[in-house]
Amino acid sequence: MKPRILHLYKDYYPPVFGGIEQTINRMANGLKNDFDVSVLVCAGAEKSGIVDIDGVRVIRTKEMGRFASAPLSTDFIRVLSKEIKSADLIHLHHPNPTSDFALALSGFHSKPAVMTYHSDIVRQKFSRILVAPFLRHSMDHCSVIMPTSPDYAESSQWLQKYKHKLEVIPLGINIDEWQETAESRVFSESIRQQANGRHIICFNGRLRYYKGLPWLIEAMKSIPDTILFISGDGPMRSEIENQIATLSLSDSVRLIGSLSHSDLVGLLHASELFCMPSHLRSEALGISMIEAMACHLPIVSCDIPTGVRYVNINGETGLRVPPSNAAALADAIRRITQDTALAKQFAIAAHKRATEFFSEDVMNRHLEQVYVKALHINKRYK
């Protein structure tokens, strides 16, 4: 019988198209042949119940609403108490206060647990204070805690107490999914037509407060013969639209909304450079940078003490600049777009780094070792 793994988070992909949700999907699918994998989440807009998604058992519980992005669900606690009995190992994903509250009430002390530490709780100060004792309870119980980069392991105050438990496992993507196709080339051509001979740079991600887009848009004022395509949607869309209009940049900055995977591949392959202007540590790793690197794109990013620094090696895969600095972003973008040899050098190194460090195969090989270690520890000390 295969060991039973129970992932805990608030949502799952599909349908929620988030970075953590997609990562859990890759982990679950990557290890389902060797482990019996279940994922416990809240239903959100979906119907509650148990569904099979590509051979992974997904349990969706009812919720009463959300507070500071965290689901409020007594059903999650009830179902977790039941599921724990048959699980061999619990895999937590932080931040997710719902899981921490539920675990404190469910009596999971007899079960081994590991945690992927995706990010600190950064902006919600009240939530951070409220969650603290429950998070400590979860982290105290976990035998292994997995930050997604050495930089985050060093810079997170929350992780300093648990250095003896840390095992860095960077998140990974399916590199092959980012190759050009006939369909993606059609979209690439439409992007080139809109550019009309100008340099093409791009951003892809949720339009949120920590993404630093206001500085990237401001930078475009001093980058001639260049067009920026912004792919994605989110709560800052109206603010960004207003900034573009105020600065009279509608011809050189295009908001193109959320794209299908094929169209996103087309955008990336049509571009010369990917810019990640995130300026706060809420940007823990930057999966969209890795996707761009898989498409042979050099990177311009901000130098923040998170996995963003680990993904984009300054002077090797691209350039890093001080955060919240439009002039520095503009200088870095101009330097790459105006130096074909340098851009090619960065592009080759970026693809190599994405393949060697950030593929889902590499991630899941490391994760399997952690599972075996955690299960062995549990058997030894039971």
pLDDT per residue as tens digits for the range 121-176: 876 665 667 789 999 999 999 999 999 999 999 999 999 999 999 999 999 999 99
Burial class of residue 305 (count of CB atoms within 10 Å of its CB; 0-12, 13-18, 19+): middle
Distance in angstroms between the alpha carbons of the first and the last residue of the chain: 20
Q: Which of 22, 64, 17 is nearest to 44 (CA)?
A: 64
Residues 6+ apart with CB under 8 A from 82: none
pLDDT of residue 243: 99
Residue labelled with tokens 């930078």: 219
What are phi and psi for residue 8, nearest 5 degrees? -125, 125
Q: Do domains 4-172+359-381 and 175-357 have the same CATH topology?
A: yes
Residue labelled with tokens 């401001």: 218
Residues of the chain with pLDDT > 90, as a percent, come to: 85
Tokens representing 351 are 């693809």
In angstroms, rounded to a whole number, what is the distance separating the alpha carbons of residues 238 and 278? 18
In angstroms, rounded to a whole number, what is the distance separating the alpha carbons of residues 234 and 196? 28
Ordered by start, the domain boundaries in the chain are: 4-172+359-381, 175-357
Q: What is the pTM of this model?
A: 0.91
Instruction: Using pLDDT thresholds of 50, 70 and 90, give the confidence band for residue 237.
Output: very high
Tokens representing 21 are 């949700």
Whether 28 contacts 39, CB under 8 Å? yes
Instruction: Using pLDDT thresholds of 50, 70 and 90, give the confidence band for residue 19.
Output: confident
Least trusted range by pLDDT, from 14-18, 198-202, 265-269, 344-348: 14-18
Q: Kindly tell me if the per-residue pLDDT of 377 is higher than 80.
A: no
pLDDT of residue 40: 97
Fold held by 4-172+359-381: Rossmann fold (3.40.50)
The CATH number of the structural domain formed by 175-357 is 3.40.50.2000
Q: Kindly tell me if the per-residue pLDDT of 22 is higher than 90.
A: yes
Average pLDDT over residues 363-379: 90
pLDDT of residue 232: 95
pLDDT digits over 314-356, tens only?
A: 999 999 999 999 999 999 999 999 999 999 999 999 999 999 9
Instruction: Using pLDDT thresholds of 50, 70 and 90, give the confidence band for residue 188.
Output: very high
Tokens representing 123 are 């902006």
In angstroms, rounded to a whole number, what is the distance separating the alpha carbons of residues 256 and 167? 38
Residue labelled with tokens 């196709």: 181
pLDDT of residue 127: 63
Residues 6+ apart with CB under 8 A from 84: 6, 90, 106, 107, 108, 111
Whether 172 contacts 26, CB under 8 Å? yes
Q: Kindly tell me if the per-residue pLDDT of 382 is higher than 50.
A: no
Instruction: Using pLDDT thresholds of 50, 70 and 90, give the confidence band for residue 47.
Output: confident
pLDDT of residue 16: 84
Instruction: Using pLDDT thresholds of 50, 70 and 90, give the confidence band for residue 381.
Output: very low
pLDDT of residue 105: 86
pLDDT of residue 98: 93
Q: Which of 157, 156, 178, 165 is nearest to 138 (CA)?
A: 165
The 3-class secondary structure across the chain, one letter per residue, is CCCEEEEECCCCCCCCCCHHHHHHHHHHHHHCCCCEEEEEEECCCCCCEEEEECCEEEEEECCCEEECCEEECHHHHHHHHHHHHHCCEEEEEECCHHHHHHHHHHCCCCCCEEEEECCCCCCCHHHHHHHHHHHHHHHHHCCEEEECCHHHHHHCHHHHHHHHHECCCCCCECHHHHCCCHHHHHHHHHHHHHHCCCEEEEEECCCCHHHCHHHHHHHHHHCCCEEEEEECCCCCHHHHHHHHHHCCCCCCEEEEECCCHHHHHHHHHHCCEEEECCCCCCCCCCHHHHHHHHCCCCEEEECCCCHHHHHCCECCCEEEECCCCHHHHHHHHHHHHCCHHHHHHHHHHHHHHHHHHCEHHHHHHHHHHHHHHHHHHHHHHC
Average pLDDT over residues 40-63: 92
CB atoms within 10 A of CB 2: 12
Average pLDDT over residues 285-314: 98
Q: Kindly tell me if the per-residue pLDDT of 46 is higher than 90.
A: no
Q: Work out the mean pLDDT of the chain and round it to a whole number.
A: 94
